[in-house]
Amino acid sequence: MNSDLLKRLFRAINQDNVEAINKLAQIIIKEEKEKGHHKLAEQLQSLLKSKTKRVNTIKEATNNNILSLVKNHNSTLIELPTAKRDNSPLFSFIERDKLRHHMILPSYIEDKFTKIEAEYTAQERLMKYNLKPIKKILLYGESGCGKTMSAERLAWNIGLPLLKVRFDSLLSSYFGESASNLRTIFDTSVNIPCVVLIDECDFIATARNSNRDVGEASRIVNMFLQLLDEYEPIGLIVATTNLKDKLDKALFRRFDESFEMEKPSLREIEKVLKMTLSSIQTCNNFDWIGLSDKMQGMSYAEVVKIAQNSAKSIILTGKHLLDDNTVYSYIKDLN
């Protein structure tokens, strides 16, 4: 291999330019054939095809919204787990460009998330002092207050993929399979740098003294508690629930941090309205405070829905300005 070709190859590797690397590899293979090194050329071509096939497999999986191959902390490609009986995926992969991460929160809640992100980023420094970063988080509160979005925001800000546990695959009517699937989820994800989201975890963490079920339900809760105790993930795990009072009390001790995602205050409602309607022109003296006051007691999701419906009505009717009455009408509809 001549020096110029060698420099070009190393420059392409340094720039992570896959297309250039492949072109240079083909030039090298051609040169080896011309030199009569046919066996070597065939071996190089085979290695290149193998690499291309693996990359295409990852791209195809990502396009299907299920990342079947991911890297663990040793940068080794590993396969994500599937359910024992029907081989259905136990995780859904949320692509980065679909992660919702713009959130308006009370300052004390924002500080909690900022702390989690800072500790994750500085985890090696903390470990030197025998200090563990926050890695297991439980979020509770009413529906529409940003619990699921908070997991997406953490994944976005930390730069990790988000893997959401699929309960339709996890839970099985066959004795022992649900607990087995749950263990598989924990055993696999512990070595993957990712955010694991267990949305509505009350499915598997209802108090063991409840009358909902006996036997298998209790077995799953016990397994969940045990796995959380032992779990030392590379990434984060975020569990959410709308039913805090129905959770097993022992669950809260298993998390490094647990806190309530509350409904927005008057100030947050106004900010959410202004952010959602930022692309829409409003009339003079638009009553932001008055509208926000009418929405007190609503969730973030409800405020966003009202704002979006108001914006769509203006666009569809061809009006140029959004007025208070349009927004008020949607507030009344929701009430």
Residue range 226-274, pLDDT digits in tens: 999 999 999 999 999 998 888 888 899 999 999 999 999 999 999 999 9
Nearest CA to 271 among 97, 107, 83, 34?
107
For residue 296 the two structure tokens come to: 């007190």
Question: Is residue 152 pLDDT above 70, yes or no?
Answer: yes
Confidence of residue 5 (pLDDT cuts 50, 70, 90): low
Domain limit, last residue, from 63, 85, 102: 63
For the segment 121-142, the average pLDDT, to the nearest whole number, is 94
Question: Is residue 326 pLDDT above 90, yes or no?
Answer: yes
Query: Is residue 301 in some structural domain?
Result: yes
Same structural domain, 174 and 227: yes
Q: Are 91 and 81 in contact (CB under 8 A)?
A: yes
User: Hey, which of 51-65, 176-190, 285-299 has the most confident mean pLDDT?
Assistant: 285-299
For residue 38 the two structure tokens come to: 């046919």
Collapsed DSSP state (helix, strand, coil) of residue 282: strand
For residue 321 the two structure tokens come to: 């300005």
Same structural domain, 127 and 213: yes
For the segment 128-138, the average pLDDT, to the nearest whole number, is 95
List Cβ neighbours of 150 (8 Å cut-off, separation of 6 or more): 103, 113, 139, 238, 261
Question: Is residue 189 pLDDT above 50, yes or no?
Answer: yes
For residue 30 the two structure tokens come to: 């051609």
Collapsed DSSP state (helix, strand, coil) of residue 118: helix
Q: Are 60 and 149 in contact (CB under 8 A)?
A: no
Question: Is residue 15 pLDDT above 70, yes or no?
Answer: no
Query: Is residue 69 in some structural domain?
Result: no
Domain limit, last residue, from 63, 88, 108: 63
Token pair 């509505």 in the structure block, residue: 200
What pTM was computed for the model? 0.74
Query: Is residue 68 in some structural domain?
Result: no
pLDDT for 63 equals 40
Confidence of residue 75 (pLDDT cuts 50, 70, 90): low
Residue range 157-171, pLDDT digits in tens: 999 999 999 998 888
Cα 33 from Cα 277, distance rounded (Å): 64
Same structural domain, 270 and 255: no
Query: Is residue 70 in some structural domain?
Result: no
CA 217 to chain CA centroid, nearest Å: 27
Cα 288 from Cα 268, distance rounded (Å): 12
pLDDT for 218 equals 80
Question: Is residue 77 pLDDT above 70, yes or no?
Answer: no
Looking up residue 302, the CATH number of its domain turns out to be 1.10.8.60
**Lowest-confidence pick of 131-135, 210-214, 227-231, 243-247:** 210-214
Computed on alpha carbons and rounded to an integer, the radius of gyration of the chain in Å comes to 26
pLDDT for 327 equals 95
Same structural domain, 180 and 288: no
DSSP code string of 160-207: --EEEE-HHHH--SSTTHHHHHHHHHHHHHTTS-SEEEETTTHHHHB-
Structural domain count, the chain: 3
Same structural domain, 137 and 252: yes
The two beta strands, 77-79 and 162-165, are unpaired
Same structural domain, 116 and 25: no
For the segment 282-309, the average pLDDT, to the nearest whole number, is 95
Domain that holds residue 154: 77-260
Query: Is residue 71 in some structural domain?
Result: no
For the segment 88-115, the average pLDDT, to the nearest whole number, is 91
